[in-house]
Chain A
């Protein structure tokens, strides 16, 4: 019995190693492609959960083609286990560089260690991991949500410069406990701290959703006598709130000034139409920066551990100008 079992196991091992060998030679062939200078990048995306993410994927694909980098793209469909097996796949294929947007922050140490042992550099995009050992990845390219909150706050301070009257601000937070919600809240609060007349009178979660943004804003409108400013952590909640403001017989953008973060197409359209006053961009278009970093890493040049996505802010006039060429 034991003998047949061990024979079976051995047979199985042989089969597996044959398969792995297969994968190896494939990877080798692609690596061979590296001889003519083409870098192979394995990228594992979170999924396709929003317009933002779709734009992110398209940016990476387009930039890879433009930079002459061969892209092995895989979609983890929002699951960490898919992403880990994707990364293992890249290691087996011996790609030159691995990049990925982690689905969650924790649980990456083992697979990143495998990549390190295989000598394949790793770059994180858009989201961070909580590994203590920062040598496991080369760089993290993404937005700084706190800076986004600060930009929103700075605009407001400038808008009310020289005015001493009380300004009542209501805030629609993102999903409770998520990094963008926490950072956009603290960044904004810090930026307006020095001006005691700018007061956040209500702050509540709208879960990054339009429907929730509308319901929460309805209640804000009923419970705060005079709202001057709305700060929403993303465009969608702001758009929902606009509906509530209109229903209450007020003019969004005039009676209540609105600041949001993201700059997706619907938000930019509302901004151009004068219903939002200011949008801080959170850009998914990090493809070009990623490809630059990939090349630098491949050539063994030192790269910044933290690379901020290039992103700006939009006023109503800027939105009108930018809208026709907007990619997302």
Chain B
């Protein structure tokens, strides 16, 4: 029991469970089967959290090396813009081949964006927060340039499957995110890669002296973060069947960083938890849905969210828990000590 209580992820998981409980109560259909697939609030939450899971996953790896990637939201916008532009030029928007080419092109552009970030950080040696700030600002501009500032609509069945489709009764978007998580876990926990990442995050210089190619690893994590952000951008744009380069992925970098922090990854690098990040991302999405489900007035949304986040972060601090819960249990003892004094 105490080992469960001491687990870093126990408290976030508890808060998630409470919020899901509230949703189960307010929702007519928390989980059900409709048209041969799963349906309901729980599925909406999981499907809706797919882009954030992907972005936060990339962010976890970047933060593990002691960096940060502010450009993920802009990369999402670029990737959605590229895909929708290519698809809208197709003669037949429902042709699978054409859509796959568009998706491939969008991922390639996202990889290039990641490579740009990685090169600036690891080769040129610019501070990560500044290096990725460049693409954060310029990237959204690029996306708007591609789309000429307009919202590009697509009516493509295969493309919208990315976000709204179902496979084996489960949402495709969730499966994509799950596959990305599984792949990352496999590569970082079943090979030495995870150790190398943590080592670079701990001290790049010491890692290099120990024979680890710190530079190559750093470039790699930014490329991976770019690819995951690109994938998230595709899901987000397929979800609304259009590329909105102004609002796509806007401020998602902050949600992603929050998810990473809730998950227990240290912002200074060195230690990371993929399970924690996924949990964090799902909590953030659940919070968004809960705000609407329990009728928090629009003006109080942000306040409600911040109260939950503060409670979440405090609950993860052992010192804080000791102070709050310790007081209830140890008060009689304290009084006893108090009388003779």
Q: Which residues of A have CB within 8 Å of B205? A: none
Q: Within 8 Å CB of B295, what residues of A?
A: 202, 204
Shortest Cβ gap from B93 to chain A (Å): 15
Q: Which residues between 230 and 285 of chain B lie within 8 Å of chain A, taking CB atoms?
A: 236, 239-242, 244, 246-248
Interface code A64-95, partner B: CB below 8 Å = 1, 0 otherwise? Answer: 00000000000000000000000000000000
State which of B150, B240, B289 has its C-beta within 8 Å of the C-beta of A211: B240
Q: Which of A205, A211, A247, A266 contacts B298 (CB 8 A)?
A: A205
Q: Does B293 contact A (CB under 8 A)?
A: yes
CB distance from B155 to the nearest CB of A (A): 10
- With contacts A51-B150, A173-B298, A211-B247 taken as known, whether A219 is within 8 angstroms of B292 at the C-beta atoms is yes
Q: Return chain B residues, CB-CB under 8 Å to A49.
A: 149, 246
List of A residues within 8 angstroms of B242 by Cβ: 210, 239, 266
User: Does B28 make an interface contact (CB < 8 A)?
Assistant: yes
Whether the pair B149, A266 counts as a contact (CB closer than 8 A) is: no
Q: What distance in Å separates the Cβ of B252 from its nearest Cβ neighbour in chain A? A: 11
Chain B residues closer than 8 Å to A51, beta-carbon distance? 149-151
A240 to B160, CA, bound (A): 13
Annotate A165-197 by CB proximity to B: 1 below 8 A, 0 otherwise. 000000001001100000000000000000000
Q: Which residues of A contact B8 (CB under 8 A)?
A: none
Contact A220 B292 (CB under 8 A): yes
**At the interface, yes or no: B40 with Cβ under 8 Å from chain A?**
yes
B240: A residues at CB distance < 8 A = 210-211, 214, 239-240, 243
Which residue from chain B places its CB closest to the CB of A211 in the assembled complex? B240
Do A222 and B41 touch across chains, with their CB atoms under 8 A apart?
A: yes
- In this assembly, does A218 line the interface, its C-beta being within 8 Å of a C-beta of chain B? yes
Determine the chain A residues whose CB is within 8 A of the CB of B153 once the complex forms: 266
A4 within 8 A of partner (CB): no
The answer to the question of A48 belonging to the interface, with a C-beta cut-off of 8 Å to chain B, is yes
A54 proximity list for chain B (CB < 8 A)? 149-150
- When C-beta atoms are compared, the residue in chain A nearest to B29 turns out to be A222
Please state if A249 and B299 are interface contacts (CB–CB under 8 Å): no
Which residues of chain B are near A239, meaning CB under 8 Å? 240, 242
Instruction: Write out the residue numbers on chain B whose beta carbons fall within 8 Å of the beta carbon of A211.
Output: 236, 239-240, 244, 247-248
A219: B residues at CB distance < 8 A? 41, 44, 289, 292-293
**In the complex, what's the smallest C-beta–C-beta distance from A153 to chain B, in angstroms?**
19
Given known A214-B240, A219-B292, A223-B293, contact A176–B48 (CB-CB < 8 A)? no
Contacts known (A48-B149, A223-B28, A225-B28); A243 close to B164, Cβ less than 8 A: yes
> Is B34 interfacial (CB 8 A cutoff)?
yes
Question: Quick check: is A216 within 8 A (CB to CB) of the other chain?
Answer: yes
Find out whether the CB atom of A215 lies under 8 angstroms from the CB atom of B289: yes
In the assembled complex, the Cα of A165 lies from the Cα of B164 at a distance in Å of 34
**A266 contacts B151, C-beta separation under 8 Å:** yes
A222/B149 in contact, CB under 8 A: no
Chain B 215-239 near chain A by CB (<8 Å), digits 1 or 0: 0000000000000000000001001
B301 within 8 A of A: yes
Number of A-B contacts (CB under 8 A): 84
Q: Shortest beta-carbon distance, B26 to chain A, in Å? A: 5
Q: Please, which residues of chain A bring their CB within 8 A of the CB of B27? A: 222-223
Chain A residues positioned under 8 Å from B244 (CB to CB): 209-211, 236
Residue B305 CB within 8 A of the other chain = no
Chain B residues whose CB sits within 8 angstroms of the CB of A50 once the complex forms: 149, 246
A203 near B: Cβ within 8 Å? Answer: yes
Give Cα distance in the complex from A51 to B242, angstroms. 14
Most B CB within 10 A of own CB, among A216, A219, A239: A219
Contact present for B247 and A223 (CB under 8 Å): no
- For B40, the chain A residues whose CB sits under 8 A away are 222
Chain B residues within an 8 Å CB radius of A177: 299
User: A243–B292 contact, CB under 8 A?
Assistant: no
CA distance A214 to B173 in the complex (A): 15
**Which residues A245-270 have CB closer than 8 A to chain B?**
247-249, 266
Q: Which of B44, B150, B241 contacts A243 (CB 8 A)?
A: B241
Closest to B247 in A: A209
Nearest-neighbor residue (CB-CB) of A181 within chain B: B298
Q: Are B298's CB and A215's CB within 8 A?
A: no
A222 to B30, CA, bound (A): 8
Kindly list chain A residues whose C-beta atoms are within 8 Å of the C-beta of B241: 243
Q: How many angstroms from the CA of A173 to the CA of B300 in the assembled complex? A: 14
Chain A residues whose C-beta falls within 8 Å of the C-beta of B28 in the assembled complex: 222-223, 225
Point out the residues of chain A lying under 8 angstroms from B164, CB to CB: 243, 247
Q: Does B35 contact A (CB under 8 A)?
A: yes
Min Cβ gap B196→A in Å is 37
Known: A222-B40, A240-B240. A176 touches B151 (CB 8 A): no
Q: Smallest distance from the beta carbon of B193 to chain A beta carbons, Å?
A: 34
Tell me the complex Cα distance, A210–B248, Å: 9
Q: How far is the CB of B242 from chain A (nearest CB, A)?
A: 7
**Which residues on the B side are within 8 Å of A48 (C-beta)?**
149
B239 & A243 in contact (Cβ 8 Å cutoff):
yes
**A36-73 interface mask toward B, CB cutoff 8 Å, 1 = contact, 0 = none?**
00000000000011110010000000000000000000
Query: Given contacts A214-B240, A223-B27, could you give 17 more A-B pairs where the C-beta distance is less than 8 Å?
Result: A54-B149, A177-B299, A202-B295, A205-B301, A209-B244, A209-B247, A210-B244, A210-B247, A211-B240, A215-B288, A215-B292, A220-B292, A222-B27, A222-B44, A236-B244, A247-B164, A266-B242
8 contacting pairs across A/B (C-beta < 8 A): A204-B292, A211-B236, A215-B289, A215-B292, A222-B26, A223-B28, A239-B240, A240-B240
Chain B: residues with CB nearer than 8 A to chain A?
26-29, 34-35, 39-41, 44, 48, 149-151, 153, 164, 236, 239-242, 244, 246-248, 288-289, 291-293, 295, 298-299, 301
